[in-house]
Amino acid sequence: MNAPRLPKVAGINSSDSRVPSPAHTAQPSDEHPAAEGSASPGSAGTAAPKSSAEALQDQLAGWVTDLTTLHEFTESLSRTATLDAALHEILRAGALLVGARRALIVVEPGDGTETTVGLGLGRADLGHIETVPRSATSYGRLLDTPAGLPGGEREIAHPDLLSEDDLDPRHREVAARLGYAASYALPLASESAGRVGAAVWLYDEPAEPSERQRHLIGLYARQATEHLARLLELERARAVTATLAAELLPPRLPRVASVQLAVRHRTGAHGGGDWYDALPLPEGALGLAVGSVTGSGPSAVAAMGRLRASLRAYAVMEGEDPVAVLSDLELLLRLTEPARSATALFAHCEPAVRRITLAGAGHSPPLIVGARRTEFVETSLSAPLGMLACWEAPSVEVNTEPGETLLLYTDGLLRRTGEPMDRAFARLHAAASGAARAVREDPEALTDHVLRTLLPEETDGAPAALGPDRPGPLDSPDRPGHPGHSEDVVLLAARFA
């Protein structure tokens, strides 16, 4: 006679999961009457009853295993530094804990924004789920009930969705289309953080988590909520810093005869102080500037705004002498912000004769890109502003050929490659020299080409044009292979006709 089959409960295959099988928790009875027809205790094939000490040992072993599992998952979650990475980690760990294959998270931090992330669900799948009336979805019921569900429940389980008579018709249609038959949902909420979202795990067949799995996922969800709340606050601060930086930079590039301008600006994860400027000067001249102040966050952004505004004033008064412009800027920085240093490069351009006079203070040399040459301008070596008691360095005069482009950039472009500086310079030169002829003739295309070549992983799926009024996304500082993601990037191109 076959042994009776246990009812199906959502579990995890021990061959592909770190979550162990449930430990024995029931206390054994003092008496163990043998079933009729069963073998005696000493017969082969019959296990001896466990003592109370053995049962307690099994129970403690199960607790230790559960704590170890939760520690591993929460430690992995704590290493995520961006909201997107944290959401995917929560979905992955939760799927292992409850034995599901697919899942989704809906984050609503209370500021009017909503973010939906899926595990094993593509954009089209998430779109189908979003067509279900919100009140008929598990996450919608959890998010739209401020104090939780009636009766104090903090979870929603549908062990067999398609057998429910009161299931919304659209929900039934979407479930059948996507091939899930059961779901288990939890709110992402805690006393200190409040409610930040809800997570739903989907099963391919009718199933539900065991009591032990529900306990583990509940503990994990509370820890995940605290981490998400911190990341959401950090994302808000980053967004404010990026907006502030964008507002302090030129809203648009000027139109100057015989010159085509293009710029790309990206704010780093911590909000740095990289800046650029392009301003018309008397007698048809054009002033170009790039620079960076030390530090990060709102204070660095504010210092960047003050420095740029001061440089504009000095450029209007004595722009034909870049050394005088940077000397005045250095004196101002040393007197007003003695604890801060900065790098800067200023170029006075005469488009009519394609003549450029420039000076740099601790800044990377510009790059000239043309049909016959791609070479760095040999600027004199000088210290950053604020590093010496008196700054001064000779200027350099450069004459460009028709159709050549001057590329100005900040060090963040080089650091984001993750390469040593000498190799980063070589990669920049190779990227510019390898551009096709049509790309070299268009400064917009050239800046995009350089970014795609130097930072391919960052530009995948990014907008083709990141101009002054379209700052780039806040990049992850912990993205593998790109240790410089906390750096700002500025790339300014000027093509002379």
H helical segments located in 386-435: 411-415, 421-433
pLDDT given at position 41: 39
Give Cβ neighbours of residue 481 (< 8 Å, ≥ 6 apart): 418, 457
Q: Is the four-CA dihedral 381, 385, 390, 396 of positive or negative sign?
A: positive
**What token pair was written down for 117?**
């992330």
pLDDT of 60 above 50: yes
**CATH topology for the 58-238 domain:** Beta-Lactamase (3.30.450)
Residue with tokens 């509370």: 222
Cα–Cα distance for residue pair 301/237, rounded to 1 Å: 13
Give Cβ neighbours of residue 254 (< 8 Å, ≥ 6 apart): 261, 278, 279, 280, 286
Distance from CA of residue 317 to its chain's centroid?
42
Residue 151 binned pLDDT confidence (cut-offs 50, 70, 90): very low
Q: Taking residues 483-489, report their average pLDDT.
A: 68
Residue range 241-259, pLDDT digits in tens: 778 777 888 889 999 999 9
Q: Of the spans 33-47, 65-79, 394-408, which averages the highest pLDDT?
A: 394-408
**What token pair was written down for 445?**
């295309």
Residues constituting the chain: 497
Lowest model confidence (mean pLDDT) among 65-69, 121-125, 306-310, 440-444: 65-69
Domain boundaries, the chain: 58-238, 249-496
Residue with tokens 């949902």: 185
The gap between the terminal CA atoms of the chain, to the nearest Å, is 92
Contact 103, 199 (CB under 8 A): yes
**CATH topology for the 249-496 domain:** Phosphatase 2c; domain 1 (3.60.40)
| CA torsion angle 21 26 31 34 (round to 10) | -30
Residue 48 binned pLDDT confidence (cut-offs 50, 70, 90): low
Query: What predicted TM-score, i.e. pTM, was given to this entire model?
Result: 0.65
Phi-psi region of 117 (alpha: psi -120 to 50; beta: other; left: phi over 0): beta
Cα–Cα distance for residue pair 489/92, rounded to 1 Å: 33
Contact 115, 107 (CB under 8 A): yes
pLDDT given at position 27: 37
Main-chain phi, psi angles of 398, to 5 degrees: -130, 135
Give Cβ neighbours of residue 60 (< 8 Å, ≥ 6 apart): none
